[in-house]
A and B are shown apart, each in its own frame.
Chain A
Amino acid sequence: SQQGEEDPQALSIQEGENATMNCSYKTSINNLQWYRQNSGRGLVHLILIRSNEREKHSGRLRVTLDTSKKSSSLLITASRAADTASYFCATDRLANRDDKIIFGKGTRLHILP
Protein backbone atom coordinates (compact mmCIF):
# COMPACT_ATOMS: atom_id res chain seq x y z
CA SER A 1 0.00 0.00 0.00
CA GLN A 2 1.10 3.55 -0.64
CA GLN A 3 3.12 4.87 2.28
CA GLY A 4 3.84 8.46 1.31
CA GLU A 5 1.69 10.76 -0.78
CA GLU A 6 2.68 14.31 -1.58
CA ASP A 7 0.40 17.14 -2.51
CA PRO A 8 0.05 19.10 -4.57
CA GLN A 9 1.26 17.04 -7.51
CA ALA A 10 2.49 20.21 -9.17
CA LEU A 11 3.07 23.73 -7.93
CA SER A 12 4.07 26.89 -9.78
CA ILE A 13 5.00 30.01 -7.85
CA GLN A 14 6.79 33.28 -8.48
CA GLU A 15 10.43 33.59 -7.54
CA GLY A 16 10.72 34.98 -4.05
CA GLU A 17 7.50 33.43 -2.81
CA ASN A 18 7.35 30.59 -0.32
CA ALA A 19 6.54 27.07 -1.48
CA THR A 20 4.79 24.56 0.73
CA MET A 21 4.52 20.88 -0.09
CA ASN A 22 2.75 18.29 1.99
CA CYS A 23 3.22 14.60 2.56
CA SER A 24 0.83 12.15 4.17
CA TYR A 25 1.59 8.59 5.14
CA LYS A 26 -0.35 5.62 6.41
CA THR A 27 1.60 3.71 9.04
CA SER A 28 3.68 4.76 12.02
CA ILE A 29 7.23 5.72 11.21
CA ASN A 30 10.66 6.10 12.79
CA ASN A 31 11.63 8.99 10.58
CA LEU A 32 10.69 10.88 7.44
CA GLN A 33 13.08 12.22 4.84
CA TRP A 34 12.67 14.79 2.09
CA TYR A 35 14.56 14.58 -1.18
CA ARG A 36 14.92 16.80 -4.23
CA GLN A 37 15.33 15.56 -7.78
CA ASN A 38 16.22 17.80 -10.67
CA SER A 39 14.86 16.60 -13.97
CA GLY A 40 16.48 13.31 -14.94
CA ARG A 41 19.05 13.56 -12.19
CA GLY A 42 19.81 11.92 -8.85
CA LEU A 43 18.04 12.19 -5.53
CA VAL A 44 19.52 14.80 -3.23
CA HIS A 45 18.87 14.35 0.47
CA LEU A 46 17.44 17.50 2.03
CA ILE A 47 16.44 16.76 5.58
CA LEU A 48 15.53 13.93 7.97
CA ILE A 49 13.05 14.44 10.78
CA ARG A 50 12.59 11.87 13.51
CA SER A 51 9.22 10.75 14.78
CA ASN A 52 9.83 12.49 18.11
CA GLU A 53 10.61 15.82 16.43
CA ARG A 54 8.00 18.34 15.37
CA GLU A 55 10.00 20.81 13.35
CA LYS A 56 13.41 21.06 11.76
CA HIS A 57 15.20 23.78 9.83
CA SER A 58 18.00 23.73 7.31
CA GLY A 59 18.81 26.99 5.59
CA ARG A 60 15.70 28.06 3.68
CA LEU A 61 13.99 24.73 4.37
CA ARG A 62 11.56 24.12 7.18
CA VAL A 63 10.06 20.70 7.77
CA THR A 64 7.26 19.92 10.15
CA LEU A 65 5.97 16.55 11.27
CA ASP A 66 2.61 15.80 12.82
CA THR A 67 2.55 12.14 13.77
CA SER A 68 -1.03 12.35 15.03
CA LYS A 69 -2.14 13.34 11.53
CA LYS A 70 0.55 11.25 9.83
CA SER A 71 1.64 14.21 7.78
CA SER A 72 4.65 16.37 7.08
CA SER A 73 5.22 19.61 5.26
CA LEU A 74 8.24 21.06 3.51
CA LEU A 75 8.43 24.82 3.30
CA ILE A 76 10.95 26.52 1.04
CA THR A 77 11.20 30.21 1.82
CA ALA A 78 12.22 32.93 -0.62
CA SER A 79 12.19 30.53 -3.56
CA ARG A 80 14.76 30.75 -6.33
CA ALA A 81 14.82 29.50 -9.90
CA ALA A 82 17.28 26.80 -8.83
CA ASP A 83 14.62 25.34 -6.52
CA THR A 84 12.71 24.12 -9.59
CA ALA A 85 12.69 20.35 -9.13
CA SER A 86 10.58 17.46 -7.90
CA TYR A 87 10.37 16.97 -4.16
CA PHE A 88 9.71 13.61 -2.53
CA CYS A 89 9.04 12.47 0.98
CA ALA A 90 10.23 9.03 2.00
CA THR A 91 9.30 7.07 5.09
CA ASP A 92 10.17 3.84 6.78
CA ARG A 93 7.47 1.75 8.48
CA LEU A 94 7.88 1.32 12.21
CA ALA A 95 5.43 -1.53 12.69
CA ASN A 96 6.93 -3.79 10.07
CA ARG A 97 10.55 -2.98 10.87
CA ASP A 98 11.11 -2.99 7.13
CA ASP A 99 14.60 -2.27 5.93
CA LYS A 100 13.62 0.20 3.27
CA ILE A 101 12.22 3.65 2.76
CA ILE A 102 9.19 4.20 0.58
CA PHE A 103 8.85 7.21 -1.66
CA GLY A 104 5.76 9.17 -2.53
CA LYS A 105 4.98 10.28 -6.07
CA GLY A 106 6.45 13.70 -5.49
CA THR A 107 5.54 17.33 -6.02
CA ARG A 108 6.84 19.04 -9.15
CA LEU A 109 7.79 22.56 -8.17
CA HIS A 110 8.28 25.20 -10.83
CA ILE A 111 9.64 28.61 -9.87
CA LEU A 112 8.59 31.30 -12.32
CA PRO A 113 11.01 34.17 -12.96
Chain B
Amino acid sequence: EPEVTQTPSHQVTQMGQEVILRCVPISNHLYFYWYRQILGQKVEFLVSFYNNEISEKSEIFDDQFSVERPDGSNFTLKIRSTKLEDSAMYFCASSEAGAGGYTEAFFGQGTRLTVV
Protein backbone atom coordinates (compact mmCIF):
# COMPACT_ATOMS: atom_id res chain seq x y z
CA GLU B 1 0.00 0.00 0.00
CA PRO B 2 1.40 3.43 -0.90
CA GLU B 3 2.53 5.51 2.04
CA VAL B 4 3.99 8.87 2.90
CA THR B 5 7.63 8.57 3.91
CA GLN B 6 9.46 11.00 6.15
CA THR B 7 13.16 11.29 6.94
CA PRO B 8 14.83 11.47 9.32
CA SER B 9 12.69 9.89 12.01
CA HIS B 10 14.51 11.89 14.67
CA GLN B 11 16.66 15.00 14.37
CA VAL B 12 18.52 16.79 17.12
CA THR B 13 19.80 20.25 16.33
CA GLN B 14 21.40 23.20 18.09
CA MET B 15 19.30 26.29 18.61
CA GLY B 16 19.85 28.71 15.73
CA GLN B 17 20.73 26.01 13.23
CA GLU B 18 18.85 25.35 10.04
CA VAL B 19 17.04 22.05 9.58
CA ILE B 20 15.41 20.45 6.59
CA LEU B 21 12.75 17.84 7.08
CA ARG B 22 12.07 15.62 4.11
CA CYS B 23 8.96 13.91 2.87
CA VAL B 24 8.06 11.73 -0.07
CA PRO B 25 4.30 12.01 -0.62
CA ILE B 26 2.21 9.33 -2.28
CA SER B 27 3.06 9.46 -5.97
CA ASN B 28 -0.30 10.37 -7.54
CA HIS B 29 -1.22 12.91 -4.88
CA LEU B 30 -1.34 16.60 -5.72
CA TYR B 31 -1.86 18.28 -2.35
CA PHE B 32 0.80 18.32 0.34
CA TYR B 33 0.76 19.44 3.93
CA TRP B 34 2.94 19.92 6.98
CA TYR B 35 1.57 19.68 10.49
CA ARG B 36 3.29 19.66 13.85
CA GLN B 37 2.50 18.24 17.25
CA ILE B 38 4.22 19.54 20.34
CA LEU B 39 4.54 16.77 22.90
CA GLY B 40 1.21 16.10 24.57
CA GLN B 41 -0.62 18.70 22.53
CA LYS B 42 -2.89 18.73 19.52
CA VAL B 43 -1.87 18.36 15.89
CA GLU B 44 -1.50 21.85 14.39
CA PHE B 45 -1.67 22.85 10.74
CA LEU B 46 1.37 24.61 9.33
CA VAL B 47 1.06 24.84 5.56
CA SER B 48 -0.60 23.40 2.48
CA PHE B 49 1.00 23.25 -0.95
CA TYR B 50 -0.50 22.71 -4.37
CA ASN B 51 0.66 23.34 -7.91
CA ASN B 52 4.11 24.35 -6.71
CA GLU B 53 2.94 27.07 -4.40
CA ILE B 54 1.65 27.56 -0.89
CA SER B 55 -2.15 27.48 -0.90
CA GLU B 56 -2.59 28.22 2.79
CA LYS B 57 -0.47 28.74 5.87
CA SER B 58 -1.09 29.21 9.55
CA GLU B 59 0.22 31.94 11.80
CA ILE B 60 2.78 29.45 13.09
CA PHE B 61 4.32 29.32 9.62
CA ASP B 62 6.31 32.55 9.86
CA ASP B 63 9.35 33.74 7.89
CA GLN B 64 11.54 31.12 9.58
CA PHE B 65 9.68 28.38 7.74
CA SER B 66 9.69 27.53 4.06
CA VAL B 67 8.57 24.63 1.91
CA GLU B 68 9.80 23.35 -1.39
CA ARG B 69 9.14 20.62 -3.87
CA PRO B 70 12.61 20.42 -5.38
CA ASP B 71 11.83 17.55 -7.73
CA GLY B 72 8.95 15.33 -8.69
CA SER B 73 8.96 13.30 -5.53
CA ASN B 74 10.26 15.20 -2.49
CA PHE B 75 8.52 17.80 -0.37
CA THR B 76 10.64 19.58 2.23
CA LEU B 77 10.11 21.80 5.24
CA LYS B 78 12.96 24.10 6.17
CA ILE B 79 13.30 25.91 9.46
CA ARG B 80 15.94 28.59 9.02
CA SER B 81 16.99 29.32 12.57
CA THR B 82 15.53 26.85 15.03
CA LYS B 83 14.23 27.86 18.44
CA LEU B 84 13.66 25.68 21.48
CA GLU B 85 9.91 25.98 20.95
CA ASP B 86 10.24 24.40 17.50
CA SER B 87 10.80 21.06 19.23
CA ALA B 88 7.90 18.91 18.10
CA MET B 89 6.86 16.01 15.92
CA TYR B 90 6.46 17.21 12.34
CA PHE B 91 4.08 15.35 10.08
CA CYS B 92 3.89 15.46 6.34
CA ALA B 93 0.63 14.54 4.62
CA SER B 94 -0.65 14.23 1.09
CA SER B 95 -4.00 13.79 -0.60
CA GLU B 96 -5.37 13.40 -4.11
CA ALA B 97 -7.61 16.42 -3.79
CA GLY B 98 -7.74 19.38 -1.45
CA ALA B 99 -9.22 19.40 2.02
CA GLY B 100 -12.79 19.71 0.77
CA GLY B 101 -12.37 17.21 -2.03
CA TYR B 102 -13.66 14.11 -0.24
CA THR B 103 -10.33 12.33 -0.34
CA GLU B 104 -8.34 11.12 2.60
CA ALA B 105 -5.22 12.84 3.80
CA PHE B 106 -2.50 10.29 4.51
CA PHE B 107 0.19 11.10 7.01
CA GLY B 108 3.78 9.99 7.37
CA GLN B 109 5.27 8.58 10.55
CA GLY B 110 6.68 11.95 11.50
CA THR B 111 10.06 13.48 12.24
CA ARG B 112 10.73 14.20 15.88
CA LEU B 113 12.70 17.44 16.01
CA THR B 114 14.54 18.22 19.21
CA VAL B 115 16.17 21.64 19.51
CA VAL B 116 18.79 21.89 22.25
Interface residues of A (CB under 8 A from B): 30-31, 33, 35, 40-45, 48, 50, 88, 90, 92, 94, 97-106
Contact = CB atoms under 8 A, between A and B. Distances in A.
- Of all A-B residue pairs in the complex, the 5 with the closest CB atoms, nearest first, are A42-B109, A30-B100, A43-B107, A92-B99, A103-B43
Interface residues of B, number: 29
Interface of B: 31, 33, 35, 42-45, 48, 50, 55-56, 58, 89, 91, 93, 98-110, 112
B79 to A, nearest CB: 19
A33 B105 contact: yes
Contacts, number: 69
Contacts of A106: 42
A99 B91 contact: no
Given A30-B102, A100-B99, A106-B42, 10 more contacts: A35-B107, A40-B112, A41-B110, A42-B109, A45-B106, A48-B103, A94-B100, A97-B100, A99-B98, A103-B45
Contact of A99 (B35, B48, B103, B112): B48
Contacts of B103: 48
Nearest to B35: A103
Contacts of A35: 107
Nearest to B48: A99
A40 B50 CA distance: 28
Contact of B104 (A45, A97, A99, A105): A45
A104 B43 CA distance: 8
Contacts of A99: 31, 48, 50, 55-56, 98-100
A45 B107 contact: yes
B22 to A, nearest CB: 15
A30 B109 CA distance: 26
Contact of A42 (B42, B58, B91): B91
Nearest to B49: A99
A98 B100 CA distance: 8
Contacts of B98: 99
